[in-house]
Every structure is written in C-alpha cells, then in structure tokens.
C-alpha cells in the first residue's frame, strides 16, 4: 500500500510540475497562444482550467502525503525492547571474560 502511495505521489508531482511550467508568471502561459484566434476554449477559460488543475493537483499531493504517513510501517515498543535486549546480549557476549 505504501508503494502505491509513493508511485501516485511521484506521478501527481510530475504532472504538477508540468502544469506549473506551462503557466506564465503574469497569467499569460498557455492562454497567450490562443489570443490570436478563437479556439475551442477561450483565453480566460484556458487560464481558469490551468489554475484549477494546479490547485487540484496540489491538493492531491497534500492528501497523498497525509495518507502515506498513516500507511507507513512503524515499529512497536515490544520490537524496540526485543532489539535492545538482543544488542545488550551481543555486547555481553563480546566482552572479554575477566
């Protein structure tokens, strides 16, 4: 499950990068190429679409980050205690006998 969230996060992040790079800093971006002709989507509708896509992808990245934190495997206190006892036993066994 954790691998699924990682893969989805990478895909959504790459899409977000592409959408942000398509935009222009002053709002021109992709809509500036439609300024000269009347295409299927008008200038303002293209800018709105890109802005909504950016916010949607950013929200998805945030949700995936939160979900991946919940799915991440954790070690229990008992496992830590068992590991500590094993280390102590190894150190005692390695210590020279007086």
Spell out the per-residue pLDDT of the chain, length 98, in tens.
888 999 999 999 999 999 999 887 665 555 555 555 445 555 566 778 888 999 999 999 999 999 999 888 776 655 555 556 666 666 666 666 66
Structural domains of the chain, count: 1
Range of the domain at 40: 2-94
Using only C-alpha atoms, what is the Rg of the chain?
26
Give the Cα separation of 55 and 96 in Å (integer): 64
Q: What is the pTM of this model?
A: 0.58
Q: How far apart are CA 79 and CA 85, in angstroms?
A: 10
The DSSP 8-state label assigned to residue 39 in this structure reads: -
Q: How far apart are CA 39 and CA 43, in angstroms?
A: 9
């Amino acid at each position: 499950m954790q691998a699924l969230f990682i893969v989805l996060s990478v895909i959504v992040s790459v899409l977000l990068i592409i959408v942000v790079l398509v935009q222009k800093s002053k709002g021109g971006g992709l809509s500036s190429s439609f300024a000269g002709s009347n295409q299927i989507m008008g200038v303002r509708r293209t800018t709105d679409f890109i802005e909504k896509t950016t916010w949607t992808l950013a929200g998805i990245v945030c949700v995936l980050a939160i979900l991946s934190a919940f799915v991440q495997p954790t070690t229990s206190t008992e496992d830590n205690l068992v590991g500590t006892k094993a280390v102590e036993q190894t150190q005692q066994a390695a210590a020279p006998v007086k």
